[in-house]
Amino acid sequence: MMKCVGLPVILPVALVGAAIACAPPSGGGLTQRLSVATGGPGGVYYPYGGGLAQVISDHVEGVEATAEVTAGTVDNLKFIANQDADLAFALADTLDDAAAGRGAFAEFGAVPARAIAVLYDNLNQLVTVEGKGIESVADLRDRVVSTGAPGSGTEITAVRVLEAAGLDATSDIRRQSLGVSESVDALKDDKIDAFFWSGGIPTGAVLDLASTPGRTVKLVSNTETLPALRERHGAVYHGVTIPRITYPGMTADAEVIGVANVLVAHEAMTEDLAYRITQAIFEHHGQLGAVHAEAAKLTLEGAVQGSTVPFHDGAIRYYREKNVWPD
């Protein structure tokens, strides 16, 4: 059940949903309201979360879900811990920190999150435009670079990628902390030289940049940092290819760092509700997949691999029924 404890960081549009989420749970004819913490409107989390909320509202009896705009993974997991959100999107590397109470959660404390499904890979996209002379992460030295919005998983991964390339995010670059849409606007206006964005493909804001007259988008490969990343942070990171057909103007594939996205809930969610949510996601995947290309990639087999926290018992029950749970 939700606790009405205030949401100082969720953007204003989320406040309405959070208030709704504090309504009484189902029973006695009342509708149970669920809040889904997503990300900024320029990325994949928000449209994916909107589709997820619609599937839950349409197909989980007695439940109505609302997608909320947030700063991203770090804040999402804090909302889960405080039970200000019922479901949340989270990057697996940040989720690992949250479960252990380290990194951005060292003072906040461990987050009792449980996985519902591993959704898709987030790709760490280092975005610039042709003519900036940026060919590698190391070329960002002394450049103006956005490392993502404060409280986002993008920020955590970006800082780690920079460190793996031998750069200090506080002293070796002129750092900005912008969301993906703001980063695109700043790059268009030559206020920054490049930005990091961890998201699915294609990302709407990056598509907007790629479609801007007079600008040719460029994604910089960053997998040269993979050995150092895995040595310092474990096997949560892997290499993924972004095909050059992903964004208009790309002249070559980009080899980038990938990390799983996980849909999580608080461990206190009832087994029955977690089961019915998981069931709805997969039995109505066609509806969900129509929302975004990344949502269409979801599979039962992939959903049970890549989480850095234990799965919720309700989700496990569904996966066992479908014979995909790796006992």
> Is residue 253 located within the same domain as residue 266?
no
pLDDT at site 74: 94
Residue 15 has pLDDT above 80, yes or no: no
Asked if 133 and 178 sit in the same domain, the reply is yes
**What's the pLDDT score for residue 16?**
35
Dist CA 5 CA 155 (whole Å): 26
Give the predicted TM-score (pTM) of the model. 0.81
Is residue 316 assigned to a domain?
yes
* More confident site: 19 or 207: 207
Does residue 1 form part of some domain? no
Does residue 54 sit within a domain? yes
- CATH number for the domain spanning 300: value is 3.40.190.10
Residue 313 lies in a domain: yes
275 & 158 share domain:
no
The length of the chain in residues reads 327
Which of 238, 259, 280 lies at the terminal end of a domain, its last residue?
259
Per-residue DSSP letter, 63: E
pLDDT at 20 over 90: no
Whether residues 133 and 253 share a domain: the answer is: yes
**Residues 223, 141 share a domain:** yes
Could you give the C-alpha distances from 129 to 174, 281, 300, in angstroms and in order? 18, 38, 38
By mean pLDDT, which of 22-36, 216-230, 272-286 is the weakest? 22-36
> Residue 90: its pLDDT value, please?
96
Q: Does 2 map to a domain? A: no
Residue 234: band (very low, low, confident or very high) from pLDDT cuts 50, 70, 90: confident
Q: What's the domain range around 178?
A: 122-259
Average pLDDT, the chain: 91
Positions of E strands within the chain: 32-37, 63-68, 87-91, 113-129, 144-146, 174-176, 194-199, 217-220, 238-242, 254-266
Residues 144 and 102 in one domain: no
Q: Is residue 62 part of a domain?
A: yes
Q: What's the number of domains the chain is made of?
A: 2
What pLDDT shows up at residue 287? 97
Q: What is the pLDDT of residue 29?
A: 62
Boundary residue ending a domain (221, 244, 259): 259
- Summarised one tens digit per residue, pLDDT across range 152-179 is 889 999 999 999 999 999 999 999 999 9
Q: Which residues pair with 261 in a beta bridge?
A: 91, 120
> Greater confidence, 281 or 2?
281
Q: What is the distance between the alpha carbons of residues 96 and 228, in angstroms, rounded to a whole number?
A: 18
Determine contact, residues 17/67, Cβ cutoff 8 Å: yes
Predicted local confidence at residue 2, as pLDDT: 39
Domain annotation covers residue 220: yes
5 in any annotated domain = no
Same domain, 95 and 127: no
Q: Are residues 137 and 219 in the same domain?
A: yes
| Helix, strand, or coil (residue 38) | coil
CB 226 within 8 A of CB 257: yes
Q: What is the mean pLDDT of residues 222-228?
A: 97
Tokens 């030295």 sit at which residue? 141
117-136 pLDDT, tens per residue? 999 998 999 999 999 999 99
Q: Which of 233, 259, 285 is the last residue of a domain?
A: 259
Same domain, 137 and 244: yes
Regarding whether 20 and 78 lie in a shared domain, the answer is: yes
Residue 70 predicted with pLDDT over 70: yes
Q: Are residues 90 and 141 in the same domain?
A: no
Shared-domain flag, residues 284 and 241: no
**Residue that wins the pLDDT comparison between 231 and 14:** 231
To which residue do tokens 């977690």 refer?
A: 274
pLDDT in tens, 180-192: 999 999 999 999 9
